[in-house]
Amino acid sequence: MPNGAQILIDGLVGGGVRACFANPGTSEMHFVAALEEAPALRPVLCLFEGVATGAADGYGRMAGRPACTLLHLGPGLAGGLPNLHNARRAATPVVNVVGDHALRHKRLDAPLESDIGALARTVSAWTRRTYHAGELAGDVAQAVAAATGPPGAVATLVVPADVSWSKADGQPTAMPAATARRGLVSVDAVTGAAEALRPGAGAALLLGGAAARGAGLVAAGRVAAATGAKLLCETFPARLERGAGRPVVERLAYLAAGARHQLAGVRHLVLAGAASPVAFFAYPGQGGALVPEECTVHTLATGAEDVTAALEGLAEVVGAGVSPVREAAVRPALPSGELTAESAAAVIGALLPGQAIVVDEANTSGIWLPGATAGAPPHDWLTLTGGSMGQGLPLAVGAAVACPDRPVLALVGDGAAMYTPQALWTQAREGLDVTTVVFDNRSYAILNLELGAVGAAADGARARRLLDLSGPALDFVSLARGMGVPAERATTAEEFAASLKRGFAEPGPLLIACAVPALA
């Protein structure tokens, strides 16, 4: 008769879970032992919980089904929360398996005891503790179903050690979760959107979630072409399909002033899987909503609804027979000379291989990337959905595990890279085909901009020092090699191009420290 850990793993595998990003401890040892007999579930060791949860996010975005994490009690879950915050904002399916003390041990308030449920609920749409091994089969099925959605979500199952090591009494309570599907939108929503988007109405269509890819994206392109509506995408899409041949879509800018400029004059905004846009942060004397006052916001479909079918229906109504405006296959020329954020973007645009998965946590160094890569071969673009730093390197790990036949390019700022550098070790251990570019500007450049905006003293040396990464300079080549990842430093556009070509040509990971000046 199987023990709880074996029932749990059977349930995960039965629910389609194929990867487990793990940072286990003593209370998870029965789970680890049970992996021995579960070849369908690939265990991937991560040296820090934030890597495990970020990898699960990257996996779920690309695979469209959940990976699981394996975390050690409350402190282990806590370490994973920042990237679970991003996964929640991305609506990524993730199942957290969090080990806990044996039930009879909890009242003793042993050192690792804490309120796991309170931590879990801050990021999870579904949280449960299992109290008997016999309940595990049902609980894990519900966890997988809750994570899968739609919409995708974080689900957290807390498994006490004695539940893992005990046998189920009698038959497991088979309680298969109902399979859900996205709700269909009403005819009224489609006709209302069609009315709002009528030519000459000053309309825009804002895509988010599943509308940023596949058939929904193509249908949105048809709608825009037929109606003349502006086609926009949310600022931080979980996964945007773009590149040559894909419909032309403009992403809303991160800075509120830029986004307001993009939305100026829009009188009808139709939301397709996106929320009504708001500023990332508030500023003195500025409102937070980005939509112009005279603009009416219409919802075609929420993230919980079948936005793809809704866009296809809308395209039939307004754009039968019309094709989207598609990106031309145009790449920048390979630049030479000085390496800057702009020339680095041109190098990337010139060399990006087809089917690449691009993970973007480049922040200020990334502002030239969308333009430079718009006409590169078709690729996916994964962004920092929740603003919690340290997402890029782990996300690349998960995307590479999900899609072993596709090249992964991680573009990260130096500040961002230092939250979760341990992801590099997992890249090396698993032989993942990830090329990591660290934009090495030796600054929290985005905060230097903000500090100026709030009026720090002009000479503000004490304050500026808190945003400066130059003393001592981080040597990312040394850091990467220390974790088994080959690494090179590029100081000219030519060197960067040569390194990037090597990264794409050779299997396994490569890190490129890309020396660029800070924007600010």
CB of 309 to a second copy, least distance (A): 26
CA distance 339 to 362: 15
Summary count for the chain: helices (H), strands (E): 20, 18
Nearest to 370 by CA among 290, 253, 511: 253
Asked if 322 is part of the footprint of a second copy (rule: CB under 8 A), the reply reads: no
Residue from 108, 174, 264, 320 binding a second copy (CB under 8 A)? 108
Strand, helix or coil for residue 401: helix
Segment interacting with a second copy, rule: CB under 8 A, options 202-210, 320-328, 396-404, 457-465: 457-465
For a second copy, the closer CB: 340 or 499: 499
Nearer to a second copy, 345 or 389 (CB): 389
Q: How far is the CB of 142 from a second copy (least distance, A)?
A: 23
One of 198, 250, 265, 281 touching a second copy (CB under 8 A) = 281
Q: For a second copy, give the closer residue by CB, 386 or 392.
A: 386
- The least distance separating a second copy from the CB of residue 290, rounded to whole angstroms, comes to 10
Report the candidate in 175, 92, 89, 185 with the shortest Cα–Cα distance to residue 130: 175
- Using the structure block, give the residue that is written with the tokens 């929320």: 275
Q: Does 54 bind a second copy (CB under 8 A)?
A: no
**Residue 196: strand pairing partners:** none
- Contact segment (CB under 8 A) with a second copy among 193-201, 366-374, 386-394, 401-409 equals 386-394
Residues 483-512 interacting with a second copy (rule: CB under 8 A): 483-484
Q: Tell me the C-alpha distance between 304 and 377, whole Å.
A: 31
Report the site for a second copy in 396-425 (rule: CB under 8 A). Answer: 415, 418-419, 421-422, 425
- Site for a second copy (CB under 8 A): which residue of 14, 377, 378, 460? 460
Stretch that binds a second copy, among 126-134, 140-148, 215-223, 273-281 (CB under 8 A): 273-281
467 lies in the site for a second copy, by CB under 8 A: yes
Nearer to a second copy, 256 or 301 (CB): 256
Per rule CB under 8 A, is residue 447 in the interface with a second copy? Answer: yes
Crossing angle of the two packed helices 423-430 and 392-402, in degrees rounded to 10? 20
373 versus 427: smaller Cβ distance to a second copy: 427
89 binds a second copy (CB under 8 A): yes
Residues ≥6 apart with Cβ < 8 Å to 503: 409, 435, 510, 512
Q: Which C-beta is closer to a second copy: that of 409 or that of 446?
A: 446
**Least Å distance between CB 121 and a second copy?**
7
The percent of the chain in helix, strand and coil, each rounded to the nearest 5, is 40, 20, 40
Query: Residue type at 180?
Result: A
Q: How would DSSP label each residue in 101-130? A: --GGGGGG--TT---HHHHHHTT-SEEEE-
Nearer to a second copy, 29 or 325 (CB): 29
Identify the residue among 125, 201, 248, 278 touching a second copy (CB under 8 A). Answer: 278
Query: What's the CA gap between 225 and 93, in Å, rounded?
Result: 33
* Contacts of residue 405, Cβ cutoff 8 Å, sequence gap at least 6: none
Considering beta carbons, is residue 162 or 312 the nearer one to a second copy?
Answer: 162
Residues 5-24 interacting with a second copy (rule: CB under 8 A): 22, 24
- If one asks whether residue 43 binds a second copy (CB under 8 A), the answer comes out as yes
- Is residue 92 a contact residue for a second copy (CB under 8 A)? no
Closer to a second copy by CB, 294 or 459: give it: 459
Three-state SS sequence of 421-486: CCHHHHHHHHCCCEEEEEEECCECHHHHHHHHHHCCCCCCHHHHHCCECCCCCCCHHHHHHHCCCC
**What do you get for the CA distance between the two ends of the chain, in Å?**
63
Q: Is 465 in the site for a second copy (CB under 8 A)?
A: yes
Q: Return the number of other C-beta atoms located less than 10 Å from residue 369's C-beta.
A: 22
Residues 119-178 that bind a second copy (CB under 8 A): 119, 121-123, 161-162, 165
Does 481 sit near a second copy (CB under 8 A)? yes
Calpha distance 50→391 (Å, rounded): 8
Nearer to a second copy among residue 226 and residue 384 (C-beta): 384
- Burial letters 42-69, b for 16+ CB under 10 A, else e: eebbbbbbbbbbbbbbbbbbbbebbbbb
| Nearer to a second copy among residue 141 and residue 279 (C-beta) | 279
Would you give the binding string for a second copy spanning residues 283-312, x where CB under 8 A is met? -x---xx-----------------------
Q: Where are the beta strands (DSSP E) in 245-378?
A: 250-251, 268-272, 296-301, 357-361
Q: Are strands 510-515 and 434-440 parallel, antiparallel or unpaired?
A: parallel
Question: What is the distance between the alpha carbons of residues 224 and 126, in angstroms, rounded to a whole number?
Answer: 37
Contact 240, 249 (CB under 8 A): yes
81 contributes a contact to a second copy by CB under 8 A: yes
- Does 428 participate in binding a second copy (rule CB under 8 A)? yes
Binding span for a second copy by CB under 8 A among 178-186, 300-308, 356-364, 473-481: 473-481
| 482 contributes a contact to a second copy by CB under 8 A | yes
CB of 43 to a second copy, least distance (A): 5
78 binds a second copy (CB under 8 A): yes
| Stretch touching a second copy by CB under 8 A, among 133-141, 300-308, 396-404, 445-453 | 445-453
Q: How far is the CB of 79 from a second copy (least distance, A)?
A: 5
CA distance 234 to 22: 32
Contacts of a second copy in 210-269 (CB under 8 A): 236
1 binds a second copy (CB under 8 A): no
